[in-house]
């Protein structure tokens, strides 16, 4: 073990001779981080099956539904590279704790929301916290564990993600279906666990603190946030007949504005002393391709987690609780593939085959889901969801691993957050675009169905909570009209997955060009001049 001064400063002469950490030591160090990730993902997914009821109670529309999801993804997207850069400048442990506190604060206030506008604002705060936890989880592991061993622990991170993803909707469904609790408790339930995570983090997470001049690229953060926000506003408001058409002067102004802001972001990054996304990283082919593939994986990944709750509740009439139960095949696939791929990568050092296999499975799963309707046999859906989950699990963490293996320690945070940033960006844009598709297709399918039923069916629609594009209350509708609504949502959400499938195919094609480089056997530990909170070991031992 490396010698330390009483103040905890590593001796430069022995910094490179640190003893490797055992598996138990690594798991103890990561326990608080994994718990923090679990709380954040749980609190995010717990809302998914409650959203139809939340939007109905707050008198929101399909556009509001989409923005409740998109707002969190947008904030996560914009803040991820900033968190990554801050991790290269400040204590990673402190930043993990800060991101968790921010997320909890957003959750508590979200539970008090009186309208969809307030809820969307709170989701922005939540997204900032999740952006920190998502980026820092990969960075912290890379700081302690070599790439060769990291696959194993990335698998644990993926498994944590999977358990929280399936546990959240189930818990959220139970809370929503429990009369004396209600959907607001979906935002409160994670607070005690977050407090426990903070305590565990304080006791177990010991990481190096590198002394560097602090220069945060706030200008770059502003331009990228403004560019993505303007793009998403255009996508969600265009082509619905109530704002402006896809081809209109308003669309032209917003698209041109988004492109201009993106160009200003690139200019700011090229001149910034500490850019949040160092442009030089993209000279590395592996990093550039991993980021591009993550962009399209994000579309597929978030499409699966966002729209299934609407499908099972509005197309099949299931309760929020059952909506969570019925999505288990997808989450089980993600759990198995992320865990198994991590273990095998650690043993073999080979990772590209997993990316390619994941691309094939993800494309196949989404393509098959594209043909689903409200009366599709569930066992068909279970198989398709399992394929989708297997594909996501094989690609999500391993794209980050491929990028991390290509950079120097000083760029580890930035490189990790770049890949995570593009995945979040793909999710935000994908959910927004696919939500716009759903908001357009469902009314068309409803109109076609009602025309077959006659004028009385049209009059009945005024009593089902569907006026103004709102989320319908199926229980308030007569049986024939309810069948039309369920069929419309089943067909519309099938279209959503059909549109997402080409994105998965593009991700697969991009991974074909990523060159497999042997995983390094040393961790991205801090340099010898770093001031540390505890002695740092340079690699892992199984």
My answer on whether 242 and 287 are in the same domain is: no
First vs last Cα of the chain: how many Å apart?
17
My answer on whether 318 and 258 are in the same domain is: no
Query: What is the Cα–Cα distance from 238 to 57, expressed in whole angstroms?
Result: 25
From 272, 289, 306, give the residue that closes a domain. 272
My answer on whether 257 and 213 are in the same domain is: no
pLDDT at 6: 37
My answer on whether 175 and 226 are in the same domain is: no
Mean pLDDT by 10-residue block, N- to C-terminus, for the chain (542 residues)? 38 40 73 80 75 83 76 78 76 85 87 89 88 78 72 71 72 81 84 82 70 69 83 72 74 92 91 80 88 89 77 86 84 84 80 91 94 93 94 86 77 75 81 82 86 66 49 73 88 92 93 81 46 38 38
Whether residue 5 lies inside any domain: the answer is no
Whether residue 63 lies inside any domain: the answer is yes
Whether residue 444 lies inside any domain: the answer is yes
My answer on whether 240 and 180 are in the same domain is: no
Whether residue 314 lies inside any domain: the answer is yes
CA-based radius of gyration for the chain: 23
My answer on whether 263 and 292 are in the same domain is: no
CB neighbour class for 312 (10 Å; exposed up to 12, middle 13-18, buried from 19): buried
CB neighbour class for 291 (10 Å; exposed up to 12, middle 13-18, buried from 19): buried
Instruction: Please tell me whether residue 351 adopts helix, strand or coil conformation.
Output: coil
Query: What is the Cα–Cα distance from 119 to 133, expressed in whole angstroms?
Result: 21
**Do residues 175 and 183 lie in contact, with contact meaning Cβ atoms separated by under 8 Å?**
yes
My answer on whether 259 and 298 are in the same domain is: no
What residues form DSSP beta bridges with 61? 470
Whether residue 8 lies inside any domain: the answer is no
Whether residue 3 lies inside any domain: the answer is no
My answer on whether 384 and 466 are in the same domain is: yes
Query: Domain of 125: which CATH number?
Result: 1.20.1250.20
pLDDT at 513: 92
Both tokens of 442, joined, read 């469902």
My answer on whether 242 and 160 are in the same domain is: no
My answer on whether 192 and 258 are in the same domain is: no
| Residues contacting 456, CB < 8 A, separation 6+ | none
Domain containing 246 equals: 218-272
My answer on whether 439 and 512 are in the same domain is: yes
My answer on whether 377 and 345 are in the same domain is: yes
Total of domains in the chain: 2
Whether residue 88 lies inside any domain: the answer is yes
Whether residue 6 lies inside any domain: the answer is no
pTM comes to 0.73
């Amino acid at each position: 073990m490396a010698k330390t001064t009483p103040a905890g400063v590593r001796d430069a002469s022995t910094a490179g001779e640190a003893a490797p950490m055992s598996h138990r030591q690594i798991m103890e160090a990561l326990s608080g981080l994994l718990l923090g990730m679990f709380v954040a993902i749980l609190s995010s997914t717990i809302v998914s099956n409650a959203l139809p009821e939340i939007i109905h109670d707050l008198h929101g529309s399909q556009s509001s539904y989409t923005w409740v999801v998109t707002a969190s993804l947008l904030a996560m997207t914009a803040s991820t590279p900033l968190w990554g850069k801050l991790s290269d400048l400040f204590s990673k442990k402190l930043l993990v704790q800060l991101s968790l506190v921010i997320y909890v604060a957003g959750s508590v206030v979200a539970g008090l929301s009186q309208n969809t506008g307030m809820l969307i604002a709170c989701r922005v705060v939540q997204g900032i916290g999740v952006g920190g936890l998502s980026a820092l989880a990969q960075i912290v592991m890379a700081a302690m564990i070599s790439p060769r061993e990291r696959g194993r622990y990335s698998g644990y991170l993926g498994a944590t993600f999977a358990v929280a993803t399936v546990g959240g909707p189930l818990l959220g469904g139970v809370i929503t279906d429990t009369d004396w609790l209600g959907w607001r408790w979906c935002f409160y339930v994670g607070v005690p666990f977050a407090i426990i995570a903070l305590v565990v983090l304080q006791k177990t997470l010991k990481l190096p603190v590198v002394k560097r001049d602090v220069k945060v690229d706030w200008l770059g953060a502003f331009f990228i946030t403004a560019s993505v926000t303007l793009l998403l506003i255009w996508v969600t408001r265009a082509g619905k007949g109530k704002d402006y058409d896809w081809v209109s002067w308003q669309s032209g102004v917003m698209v041109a504005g988004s492109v201009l802001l993106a160009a200003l972001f690139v200019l700011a990054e090229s001149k910034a002393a500490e850019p949040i996304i160092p442009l030089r990283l993209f000279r590395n082919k592996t990093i550039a391709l991993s980021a591009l593939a993550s962009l399209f994986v994000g579309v597929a990944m978030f499409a699966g987690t966002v729209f299934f709750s609407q499908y099972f509740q509005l197309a099949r009439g299931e309760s929020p609780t059952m909506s969570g139960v019925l999505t288990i095949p997808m989450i089980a696939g993600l759990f198995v593939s992320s865990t198994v791929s991590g273990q095998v990568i650690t043993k073999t050092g080979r990772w590209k085959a997993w990316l390619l296999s994941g691309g094939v499975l993800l494309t196949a799963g989404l393509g098959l889901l594209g043909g689903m309707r409200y009366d599709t046999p569930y066992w068909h859906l279970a198989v398709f969801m399992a394929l989708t989950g297997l594909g996501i699990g094989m690609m999500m963490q391993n794209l980050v691993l491929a990028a991390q293996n290509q950079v120097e320690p000083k760029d580890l945070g930035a490189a990790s957050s770049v890949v995570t940033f593009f995945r979040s960006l793909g999710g935000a844009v994908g959910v927004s675009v696919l939500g716009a598709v759903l908001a357009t297709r469902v009314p068309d399918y409803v109109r076609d169905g009602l025309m077959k039923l006659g004028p009385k069916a049209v009059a009945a629609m005024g009593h089902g909570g569907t006026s103004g594009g709102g989320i319908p209350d199926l229980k308030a509708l007569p049986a024939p009209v309810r069948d039309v609504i369920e069929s419309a949502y089943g067909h519309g959400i099938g279209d959503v997955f059909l549109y997402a499938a080409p994105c998965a195919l593009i991700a697969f094609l991009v991974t074909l060009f990523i060159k497999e480089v042997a995983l390094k056997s040393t961790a991205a530990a801090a340099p010898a001049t770093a001031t540390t909170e505890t002695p740092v070991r340079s690699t892992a031992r199984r």
